Structure 1
Amino acid sequence: MSRRESAVYPVVPILFEDNHVLGVAKPVNVPSQEDATGDPDMLTILKQDIKERFNKPGNVFLGLVHRLDRPVGGAMVFAKTSKAASRLSEAVRSRSFRKQYVAVVHGIPSKPSGRLVDMLYKDAKTNTVHVTSEGTDGAKEAILDYTVLQTSEGFSLVLIELHTGRPHQIRVQLNHAGHPLFGDQKYGSKVNKAGQQIALWSVLVGFPHPVTKEDISIHSMPPPVYPWTSFSLDKLELALQAYR
């Protein structure tokens, strides 16, 4: 029996589901898709769940529309048909696919809200990303908006809206701005302790339904553990209500 076959799959809460789309809350430390570790990934877990719940024989189609970094949890959307996959992928390309995150960062940004625009370059050999100058071969523009919701004991709770989907984008841009994420071992090792869980959560995914064209928004709140418990999440709830 392989490691994957013998693994105990984590419970994945379903946030939205119809014949075309599946929205779930991704647990932390689960890969979005199969990687070199061989650990259970979201695609494998959800395909198996669909097979069991709907008694489907053979292979189950499930399209990966977007990714979350392994240590990041929260709202994530999958396509249940090839047509839905194509249309949702087009929504991502046209930027009509909305992605909002909440993070706990070190320090307090000088501006309560703003936009970060950087050129990011990914080093495939080290799987790291860094900010570089415009014109660098292989670099891609990264854009995000942020709003500081609360501050507590030298940390800030920040709501982030992504306008581009670059690898490690939020982590790299906020670290470059002087505010590394709590628990980020890769880009904030100088201020974080080994073993801390990164405080980054996908709180909203919004998109036009691939068939009905209805505006769909899927929400997930961070878990009630430190450092999230250092903040009142009421303001986050109010901010998300505008998209319900």
Structure 2
Amino acid sequence: MTASGRPDPSPLLPVLYEDNHLLAVVKPPGILSQADETGESDMVTLLKDDLKVRYGKPGNVYVGLVHRLDRPVGGAMLFAKTSKAASRLSESVRSRSFDKIYLAVVHGAPAASSGRLRHFLRKDAGRNIVTVHEQAVRDAKEAILDYAVAAKRGAYSLVAVKLLTGRSHQIRAQMAAIGCPLVFDRKYGAPPVQGEQDIALWSTSIGISHPVTKEWLTIISRPPASLPWTRFDEADFSGALRLLAHEGGTDR
């Protein structure tokens, strides 16, 4: 049992926060957010199975998908445990009152230490890649993010990113468009690096008004203790979060 009295979660999906309405876990890189035609493992199915085992529920278990993370991305991911919570959280996403902060390790450094990027992204489903455009073009969607450089170590920078829109491959494509591809992200132009692994992008903070209590909730997930993250220290990570933190947020 956990300190809160809840059954122990699966070690594959560490729980960051859980109550009767919400469930936040660490999504491992490489796992789909929701099921697709491939039939490969996805977060919604894994969590339903986990909740059935932990709480001994024989029937269906509700797990509502509130937002998505691209398959190669790991970190904090929030789900609803009731349809009412799912509806209210989805409205927060639509109204852009759902804060999502990512940490990325990029090659080089942006020309400005902080700023807002606005592009138009068009997805090529056949190649599973998006192209970046400065102006609106047919079938492209507007993509906006704020970023701030938190630290620099040699040829690499630790960048905090707050998404204002949620487009497929958004951070990867927009950072590459300004000449700073994510480490290990060969799809978007990163140079080869010895010991390649998961792309250096981590969902590190989710901020949301609780759908029932209305209290501001901040959920934190630190990047893994592996390269290239280990080039930076805890002070760098904490400083990165402060750069783009919601002014009304409080940690829990």
Distance 1:234 1:75 in 2: 20
**In the TM superposition, what whole-angstrom CA distance separates every residue of 1:96-146 from its partner, at most 9, and x where no partner exists?**
000000000001222111111111111222221111243312211111111
**In the TM superposition, what whole-angstrom CA distance separates every residue of 1:126-181 from its partner, at most 9, and x where no partner exists?**
22111124331221111111111111120101011111101100000000010000
After the TM superposition, which residues 80-91 of structure 1 pair with which residues of structure 2 at under 5 Å, given as runs? 80-91=81-92
**TM-score, length-scaled by structure 2:** 0.88
Deviation at 1:233, TM superposition (A): 2.8
Percent of residue pairs bearing the same amino acid type: 56
After the TM superposition, which residues 133-172 of structure 1 pair with which residues of structure 2 at under 5 Å, given as runs? 133-172=134-173
Verify the 8 A CA contact 1:183 1:193 in the aligned structure 2.
no
Distance 2:194 2:69 in 1: 22
**Given the alignment of the two structures, is residue 101 of structure 1 paired with residue 102 of structure 2, yes or no?**
yes
Distance 1:19 1:53 in 2: 14
Distance 1:35 1:237 in 2: 35
Distance 2:84 2:194 in 1: 45
**TM-score, length-scaled by structure 1:** 0.91
After the TM superposition, which residues 27-66 of structure 1 pair with which residues of structure 2 at under 5 Å, given as runs? 27-66=28-67
Distance 1:112 1:133 in 2: 20
How has the CA–CA distance of structure 1 residues 162 and 114 changed in structure 2, closer, same or farther, with 3 Å as cutoff? same
Distance 1:93 1:25 in 2: 23
SS at match of 1:116: strand
Distance 1:68 1:126 in 2: 19
Residue 5 of structure 2 corresponds to none
Deviation at 1:234, TM superposition (A): 1.0
Distance 1:135 1:178 in 2: 21
Q: Which residues of structure 1 form unaligned runs of 5+?
A: 1-8
Aligned length: 236
Residue 183 of structure 2 corresponds to 182
Q: Which residues of structure 2 form unaligned runs of 5+?
A: 1-9
SS at match of 1:126: coil
SS at match of 1:90: helix
SS at match of 2:188: coil
More displaced stretch, 12-21 vs 229-238: 229-238
Deviation at 1:224, TM superposition (A): 0.7
Distance 1:165 1:85 in 2: 17
* Coordinate RMSD, CA, aligned: 1.7
Residue 217 of structure 1 corresponds to 218
Verify the 8 A CA contact 1:84 1:211 in the aligned structure 2.
yes
Residue 235 of structure 1 corresponds to 236
Residue 3 of structure 2 corresponds to none
